[in-house]
């Protein structure tokens, strides 16, 4: 019998799989599972609900404070505006006023969680209209963040709980888990925002000494408290130390948000950071970042934290149907 012949009735021997090939397969399976768990895991809807409320309140405050008294000037064909890469499609003053308040009503509906699947795309379309008609020429990062968050929200389940829509659903509907991929997109954007700002300051010559920090407290965005601080007879090393602190803090934030044990401290410190920017530099619009902080946590963590703060205990939320 030759080497290629086998005894009658015998089965061919199974080819042995090399150990290194099995290890590679296990490695790929492990990381594929982690990838799917990261992007496509499901969670309760409380983190999205708190984001929806904070984000909606931010948009309402932004438009009511910034534009309510200047709709004709900013958005009508009788005002002063500069369309950004689009034709002049401004409405007459009456039409601009009606459209503005229609937008406010839609954002209010979004905030309280009523028909968010329908109103969110309309809000995005109208915000883009205002952005390209007038707002976009300012080229501000917080407006682009708003567009990104609205676009992601169009595909997210935002009104599963803590919403008017939840009141019309059956008691078990609020238990339905929601996809977290939208939260991942928005939180990654926030992490890149902070990390990118830190890297930019590291390599920008203007931030390598105390000059930029001194200028920050007396530029066109500065507030009276900032001017007061700028007039203090402080040595240069104080401003240099502040510059180093800001760079290190912004570089630390993405890693702190990524590590569970530091996540709460990162959210609190970042919120304080944005509040002091609002006070000293008159740029409260970056508080839009704070609206995304609940998305760094699980829905159950958000629900338990809110219940503890508001003293709900085991009682159902006023915006949830009773079980």
**Between 94 and 6, the higher pLDDT residue:** 94
Domain boundaries, the chain: 43-167, 179-318
pLDDT level of residue 322 (50, 70, 90 thresholds)? very low
Q: Contacts by 19-27 with C-beta closer than 8 Å and gap 24+?
A: none
Report the predicted TM-score, pTM, of the whole model to 2 decimal places: 0.86
At 260, phi and psi to the nearest 5? -55, -40
Whether 148 contacts 10, CB under 8 Å: no
- % pLDDT > 70, the chain: 90
According to the 3-state scheme, what is the secondary structure of 297-309? CCHHHHHHHHHHH
pLDDT tens digits, one per residue of 189-214:
999 999 999 999 999 888 888 788 88
At 178, phi and psi to the nearest 5? -115, 150
**Cα–chain center distance at 291:** 6
Residue 1 has pLDDT above 50, yes or no: no
70 DSSP β-pair partners = none
Q: What is the Cα–Cα distance from 319 to 316, expressed in whole angstroms?
A: 8
Q: What is the Cα–Cα distance from 122 to 151, expressed in whole angstroms?
A: 11
For residues 47, 48, 49, 55, the Cα torsion angle rounded to the nearest 10 degrees is: 110
Q: What is the Cα–Cα distance from 62 to 84, expressed in whole angstroms?
A: 20
Q: What angle do CA 239, 242, 244 make, to 5 degrees?
A: 115
- % pLDDT > 90, the chain: 58
3-state secondary structure of 151: helix
Q: What is the Cα–Cα distance from 117 to 181, expressed in whole angstroms?
A: 16
What's the number of CA atoms in the CB half-sphere (13 Å) around residue 253?
30
Whether 304 contacts 294, CB under 8 Å: no
What is the residue-averaged pLDDT of the chain?
Answer: 87
Q: What is the pLDDT of residue 106?
A: 98
- 263, 52, 268, 306: which is closest to 178 by C-alpha? 52
pLDDT tens digits, one per residue of 60-87:
999 999 999 999 999 999 988 888 777 8
26-40: burial string, b at 16+ Cβ within 10 Å, e else: eeeeeeeeeeeeeee
42 DSSP β-pair partners = 179
3-state secondary structure of 139: coil
Whether 43 contacts 294, CB under 8 Å: no
Question: Quick one: how many helices (H) and strands (E) in the chain?
Answer: 14, 2
Most confident of 9-18, 24-33, 286-295, 304-313: 286-295
């Amino acid at each position: 019998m030759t080497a290629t012949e086998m005894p009658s009735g015998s089965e061919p021997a199974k080819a042995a799989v090399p150990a290194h090939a099995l290890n590679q397969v296990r490695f790929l399976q492990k990381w594929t599972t982690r990838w799917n768990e990261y992007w496509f895991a499901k969670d309760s809807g409380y983190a999205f609900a708190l984001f929806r409320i904070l984000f909606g309140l931010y948009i309402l405050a932004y438009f009511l404070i910034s534009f309510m008294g200047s709709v004709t000037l900013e958005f009508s064909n009788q005002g002063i505006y500069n369309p950004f890469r689009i034709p002049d499609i401004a409405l007459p003053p009456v039409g601009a006023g009606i459209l503005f308040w229609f937008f406010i009503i839609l954002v209010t509906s979004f905030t309280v969680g009523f028909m968010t699947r329908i109103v969110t795309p309309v809000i995005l379309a109208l915000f883009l209209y205002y952005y390209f008609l007038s707002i976009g020429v300012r080229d501000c990062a917080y407006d682009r963040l708003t567009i990104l968050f609205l676009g992601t929200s169009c595909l997210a389940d935002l009104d599963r709980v803590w919403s008017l829509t939840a009141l019309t659903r059956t008691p078990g509907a609020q238990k339905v888990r929601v996809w977290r991929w939208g939260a991942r997109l928005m939180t990654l954007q926030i992490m890149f925002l902070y990390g990118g700002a830190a890297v930019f300051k590291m390599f920008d010559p203007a931030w390598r000494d105390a000059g930029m920090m001194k200028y920050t407290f007396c530029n066109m965005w500065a507030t009276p408290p900032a001017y007061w601080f700028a007039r203090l007879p402080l040595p240069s090393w104080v401003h240099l130390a502040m510059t180093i602190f800001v760079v290190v803090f912004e570089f630390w934030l993405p890693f702190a948000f990524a590590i569970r044990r530091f996540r709460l401290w990162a959210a609190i410190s970042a919120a304080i950071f944005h509040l002091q920017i609002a006070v000293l530099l008159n740029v409260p619009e970056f508080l839009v970042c704070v609206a995304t902080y609940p998305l760094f946590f699980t829905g159950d963590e958000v629900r338990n934290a809110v219940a503890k703060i508001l003293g709900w205990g085991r009682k159902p939320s006023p915006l949830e149907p009773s079980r």
